[in-house]
Amino acid sequence: MLTTGKPILEAARSGHYAVAQINLNNLEWCKAALLTAEREQAPLILGVTEAAVNYMGGFRTVAGMAIGMNEDLNITVPIALQLDHAGYEACLQAMDAGFTAVMYDGSAKAWEENLEQTAALAAICRRRNVSLEAEVGSIAGEEDGVVGTGELASPEQCEAISACGITCLAAGIGNVHGSYPADWRGLSFETLEAIKAKTDLPLVLHGGSGIPEDMMREAIRRGICKVNVNTECQQAFAAAIRTWVHSAEGQEAKSDRLPRFLAPGVAAIERVIAGKIRLFGSAGRAFG
Ligand SMILES: [Zn+2]
């Protein structure tokens, strides 16, 4: 059942669990995420980067697929369709196409401009019943051209942007996009507590791939309500297909049928998604 991010995140905050945001990269990923959420009876957010939107054809293609599949597969758990790390114009295009949630990422802009554009979008999102995630500071790593130098968000900036009428807030607490470096110093719970002292909004952790499970549980216990996962699914999908292609079964002629070829990858991402849903505590929480 398609909804906005707002009820999903508010339920997560009051229930002390986190919702998984799983990125869509094609039809198989959309289906894997929806079916796994339904099987786990978990709310879920489908995230789509602008690069993935362009790859798949455009906003209407992605929205049409996600909305149609939600209905065709009789998905009953709450699902939001969110544009991930986007500019102002792309957020508007996504809303026009039927996305129920957008993330405006003004972190590469001057702070005043980020604040101003976030506030302007918040007013539009409120009118159009679309949830809005904003970002303060930058999150290290590379994601579709948005590059940040790993940092801890300013609690004062978190307070100011929260007053704009946004739905949830992404703030750097030492997390990074992509794989974590060997010398990573871990999440800063001190920063998380300082941000929580300044805002009641649901907090979002980007770069959810590769954070040790104990550290993840602690972050959720301390108020993280949404965790974005992409890299781990990408790695699992590619590794499973690569292994299968080189196997005896994969070398058979009948393996050239597309569904058969992609099936090992689909099974692998379904395992990753189910594992995250359980780790984040959202399994069985679709209806309270
Ligand atoms: Zn991100």
The Å distance, Cα 68 to ligand 1 centre, comes to 26
Calpha distance 2→28 (Å, rounded): 18
The Å distance, Cα 243 to ligand 1 centre, comes to 29
Calpha distance 125→122 (Å, rounded): 5
What local confidence, expressed as pLDDT, does residue 185 receive?
85
Only one residue has tokens 């780790």, namely: 279
Give the residue numbers annotated as catalytic, written as ranges: 84
Residue range 93-106, pLDDT digits in tens: 999 999 999 999 99
- Residues 137-140: contacts with CB within 8 Å, 24+ apart? 137/107, 137/171, 137/172, 138/107, 138/108, 138/172, 139/107, 139/170, 139/172, 139/175, 139/176, 139/177, 139/206, 139/207, 140/172, 140/175, 140/176, 140/177, 140/207
The Å distance, Cα 261 to ligand 1 centre, comes to 29
The Å distance, Cα 288 to ligand 1 centre, comes to 27
Please answer whether residues 153 and 162 qualify as being in contact, where contact means their C-beta atoms are separated by less than 8 angstroms. no
The Å distance, Cα 54 to ligand 1 centre, comes to 17
Only one residue has tokens 């058979």, namely: 252
The residue ranges of the chain whose pLDDT is under 70 are: 140-150, 253, 255
Cβ of 180: how many Cβ atoms within 10 Å? Answer: 19
Only one residue has tokens 């004062």, namely: 156
The Å distance, Cα 254 to ligand 1 centre, comes to 39
Is the whole-model pTM more than 0.85?
yes
Cβ of 254: how many Cβ atoms within 10 Å? Answer: 7
Only one residue has tokens 């992409």, namely: 230
What local confidence, expressed as pLDDT, does residue 138 receive?
75
Architecture in CATH for domain 5-280: Alpha-Beta Barrel (3.20)
Residue 182, phi-psi category: left (phi > 0), alpha (psi -120 to 50), beta (remainder): alpha
Question: What's the token pair of residue 68?
Answer: 């149609």
Residue range 199-211, pLDDT digits in tens: 999 999 999 888 9
CB atoms within 5 A of ion ligand 1 belong to: 206
The Å distance, Cα 232 to ligand 1 centre, comes to 13
Calpha distance 236→233 (Å, rounded): 5
